[in-house]
Amino acid sequence: DIDCIYEALLNTAIDSDSLEANSYLDEVCIKEVIKKAGMKLKWSKLKQDKVRENKDAVRRLQADPALLTPRSPVVTIMGHVDHGKTTLLDKLRKTQVAAMEAGGITQHIGAFLVSLPSGEQITFLDTPGHAAFSAMRARGAQVTDIVILVVAADDGVMKQTIESIQHAKDAQVPIVLAINKCDKAEADPEKVKKELMAYDVVCEDYGGDVQAVHVSALTGNNLMALAEATIALAEILELKADPTGPVEGTVIESFTDKGRGPVTTAIIQRGTLRKGSVLVAGKCWAKVRSMFDENGKTINEACPSLPVGIIGWRDLPSAGDEILEVESEARAREVLDWRKYKQEQEKNKDDMKIIEEKRKEHQESHWKDREKYGTLNWKERSFLKYQEKKEQKFLKPKEKAERDSNVLPIIIKGDVDGSVEAILDIIDTYDASHECKLELVHFGVGDISENDVTLAETFGGIIYGFNVNAGNIIQQSATKKQVKIKLHKIIYRLIEDLQEELSSRLPCIV
């Protein structure tokens, strides 16, 4: 509906250029909308975020069905521990190495290709087990077309077998069953098939559609039959991809190579990767310097379903990151800037949440304090609370008694921040090993207040004022409460006074 789209566009302040460049809409529709707008829509500062979002045009594109060509399947091997996944992968890889003319050195690049005599190919991801599979899926990457479920015929369905089935089902990936260890005398393939029915994996000879192949990863028996069954399933799935247009893929593994720098292995899922292509993945970008296959051989092109090592990354992307091709380095930077910006926005949101929670917490405790401490201000309350905690937590009765006789609680008031700070600094450097310790109950700027007197009374402390006054009423109240107020106009006099007071409180030396 053109009107609806037009309305929506007005709200996103998109211009006709970016509409054309980024839209999923078809051309006719775009033209009509632009015509209806009658002009380039105005930029709005407020709506720049939206526009920037549209600038992040590197999304997976919808493929044109006419351009789709068949591609080979990408397979993950899953199953219970010790059921033979690694052995199976090794054997499959070796069939390839043997088939190669020079028997090159196989490199672990996270995936490898197996070619059948018929010319068909299968890409095996070579990290077995469902941990890798679900880690990739958790990052939104879906590279696997088919799961080969390995079940040892002498052991049957086990915990991780069931988990693997669940993972495949969640990802809606079909299964080919490899009943392994069939070379063993105690192997019972039929038992495996029957057990699997309880998990909705029904083999063909039990009326279901799951192909089961009896294999021995150890001897290599029937591995080609397993590969053929996989190809047969792939044909049913009609796996296709568009080998033209911008490249899309997924990072399978990434590591830093001493000589080559950051390297990734990827499965290409659309387009054809070539030297010089500019790619983005996660927060990294690459200008492809060179590519290699699992035999370490340099290749010039990588088409869909092909595992490929890519050199030329500026940083190291993570496994599962989506790879997308962009038209230029400038564009790559723009996209990464955008992603960074988005991430920061998310982070800010999180921060705001935390701040809001803290604020609420604070508010609640504030009201509780109000009930408990009445009209004292926040600083005074904090000190009181601190004292309470200290007494509850750290001081045993005996220590408390000692403390009471040897500690001089003080309250410092000054005319400005600077003078209070200066006094606190001097107190700080005052010999800590002194037998009588100062305990700063409260400090602040301004004349002596009733609160100060109350605090001093509570703690049995002395109020020291620097360049401040104590009004008549305050003086009277202090006398009544037997609180000493000492006012000074020279800092060192105040300190001297303090030291005298400390000495007078020292235990008598007989």
Count Cα neighbours of 33 within 13 Å in the Cβ-side half-sphere.
Answer: 25
Q: How far is the CB of 221 from ligand GDP (least distance, A)?
A: 8
Q: Map tokens 């996270």 to a residue.
A: 110
Query: Do 231 and 120 touch, CB atoms closer than 8 A?
Result: yes
User: Least distance to ligand GDP from the beta carbon of 86, Å?
Assistant: 3
Rounded to whole angstroms, what are the CA distances from 326 to 21, 66, 330, 491? 13, 23, 9, 69
**Binding residues for ligand GDP restricted to 378-397, rule: CB under 6 A:** none
Contacts of 223 (CB under 8 A, 6+ apart): 88, 91, 92, 95, 215, 217
Check if the beta carbon of residue 358 is closer than 8 Å to that of residue 366: no
Spell out, one character per residue from 415 to 434, where the chain touches ligand GDP: x when CB under 6 A holds, - when not.
--------------------
Among 81, 232, 330, 401, binds ligand GDP (CB under 6 A): 81
| Residue 184 touching ligand GDP (CB under 6 A) | yes
What token pair was written down for 469?
Answer: 């006054």
Closest separation in Å from C-beta 134 to ligand GDP: 17
Decide: is 130 part of the binding site for ligand GDP (CB under 6 A).
no
Helix axis angle, 48-55 relative to 329-373, nearest 10°?
140
Q: Closest distance between ligand GDP and the C-beta of residue 356, in Å?
A: 48
- Three-class SS state of 304: coil
- Residue 163 found at the interface with ligand GDP (CB under 6 A): no
Q: Binding of ligand GDP at residue 179 (CB under 6 A)?
A: no
Stretch that binds ligand GDP, among 84-92, 311-319, 361-369, 371-379 (CB under 6 A): 84-92
With CB under 6 A as the contact rule, the residue among 128, 189, 249, 409 that binds ligand GDP is: 128
In the bound state with ligand GDP, the residue whose beta carbon lies nearer, of 220 and 446, is 220
Q: Residue 85, interface with ligand GDP (CB under 6 A)?
A: yes
Which contiguous run of DSSP H or E holds residue 268? strand 261-270
Interface characters, 86-105, with ligand GDP (x: CB under 6 A): xx------------------
User: Tokens for 507?
Assistant: 């235990």
Report how many residues bind ligand GDP under the rule CB under 6 A: 16
The least CB distance from residue 108 to ligand GDP, in Å, is 15
Which one, 83 or 413, has the nearer CB to ligand GDP? 83
**Stretch 41-80 residues interacting with ligand GDP (CB under 6 A):** 79
Residue whose CB is less far from ligand GDP, 84 or 307: 84
**Which positions from 212 through 241 interact with ligand GDP, judged by CB under 6 A?**
216-218
Residues 21 and 35: their CA atoms lie apart, in Å, by 16
Angle CA(66)–CA(242)–CA(264) in degrees, nearest 5? 175
Encoded amino acid at 261, one letter: G
CA separation for the pair 93, 109 (Å, rounded):
12
DSSP string, 171-195: TT--EEEEEE-TTSTT--HHHHHHH
Residues that bind ligand GDP (CB under 6 A): 79, 81-87, 128, 180-181, 183-184, 216-218
